[in-house]
């Protein structure tokens, strides 16, 4: 099956801890994205990558980091510098026509 | 700052009626327009793409685009309770990330 997978589905973080969210796609898409969604709110872009070994900051990059070493993978690290990380994190990918497809999401909670 | 505006709702329609969801955007250079459906607690699902002025139909869904008025809409015919969700409008200007509206919550009453 072609698609986007995210893991874990639920993640709990202690104060001061870094955590990494996984995103993998087998759609052969060049571009990948990370969004954050807070309850009752819209999507906010954290980082995006249009090609391997290159990525750009989105609107709310502070406290987050990413890497794009492989076309299929775009992991997101939530660092201790992110003071309010509790949210629903969504990964997406797109091809040349900019149709974005989303993974199932990771729900992160700070304990 | 590129913006996409949607009425947050909730928009309530009776079962079997037509639901009309509207979206306006600020960037005149926008080229691609998308509608996503998001059920509570789930990720957004792409339901319609439209790239040129006019109507595009897919089953019970019709997307309408008017670039002169910077307006895109989604019509859902014969609305069902299973259509109850938040609908996100997204707009693209060439090779840049999509700009999403905050969504309109639709409630279809049986």
State the average pLDDT over residues A11-34: 94
Q: What is the pLDDT of residue B47?
A: 97
Which residue of A99, A102, A103 is in closest CB contact with B49? A99
| Chain B residues inside the 8 Å CB shell of A101 | 46
Q: What is the pLDDT of residue A40?
A: 82
Q: How far apart are CA A27 and CA A25, in angstroms?
A: 6
| Chain B residues inside the 8 Å CB shell of A97 | 32, 49
State the average pLDDT over residues A14-43: 94
Q: How far apart are CA B88 and CA A37, in angstroms?
A: 13
Mean pLDDT for chain A overall: 94
pLDDT tens-place values along chain B, 110 residues long? 789 999 988 999 999 999 999 999 999 999 999 999 999 999 999 999 999 999 999 999 999 999 999 999 999 999 999 999 999 999 998 778 999 999 999 999 99
Q: What is the pLDDT of residue A111?
A: 85
Q: How far apart are CA B56 and CA B76, in angstroms?
A: 12
Listed in sequence order, the residues at least 6 apart from B69 whose beta carbon sits closer than 8 Å to its beta carbon are: none
Of the pLDDT bands very low, low, confident and very high (cuts 50, 70, 90), residue A2 is low
pLDDT reading at A99 higher than 70: yes
* Per-residue three-class SS string for A18-83: CEEEEEEECCCCCEEEEEEECCCCCEEEEEEEEECCEEEECCCCCCEEECCCECCECCEEECCCCC
Q: What is the pLDDT of residue B110?
A: 93
Q: What is the pLDDT of residue A16?
A: 86
> Do B98 and A98 lie within an 8 Å CB cutoff?
yes
pLDDT reading at A55 higher than 80: yes
Q: What is the pLDDT of residue B2?
A: 82
State the average pLDDT over residues A2-12: 93
Interface of A to B at Cβ within 8 Å reads: 33, 41-43, 45, 48, 50, 58, 90, 97-105
Listed in sequence order, the residues at least 6 apart from A76 whose beta carbon sits closer than 8 Å to its beta carbon are: A20, A21, A23, A34, A46, A47, A64, A65, A66, A89, A91
Q: What is the pLDDT of residue B95?
A: 77
């Amino acid at each position: 099956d072609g698609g986007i997978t995210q893991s874990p589905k639920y993640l709990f973080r202690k104060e001061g801890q870094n955590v990494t969210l996984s995103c993998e796609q087998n759609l052969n898409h060049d571009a990948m994205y990370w969004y954050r969604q807070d309850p009752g709110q819209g999507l906010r872009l954290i980082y995006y990558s249009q090609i391997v070994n290159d990525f750009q900051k989105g609107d709310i990059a502070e406290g987050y980091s990413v890497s794009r070493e492989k076309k299929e993978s775009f992991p997101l690290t939530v660092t201790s510098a992110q003071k309010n990380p509790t949210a629903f994190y969504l990964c997406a990918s797109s091809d040349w026509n900019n149709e974005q497809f989303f993974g199932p999401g990771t729900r992160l909670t700070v304990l | 700052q590129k913006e996409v505006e949607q009425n947050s709702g909730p928009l309530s329609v009776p079962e079997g009626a037509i639901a009309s969801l509207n979206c306006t955007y600020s960037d005149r250079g926008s080229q691609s327009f998308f509608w996503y459906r998001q059920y509570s607690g789930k990720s957004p699902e792409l339901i319609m793409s439209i790239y040129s002025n006019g109507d595009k139909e897919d089953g019970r869904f019709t997307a309408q685009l008017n670039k002169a008025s910077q307006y895109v809409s989604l019509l859902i015919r014969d609305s069902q309770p299973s259509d109850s969700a938040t609908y996100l409008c997204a707009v693209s200007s060439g090779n840049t990330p999509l700009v999403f509206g905050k969504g309109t919550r639709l409630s279809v009453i049986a």
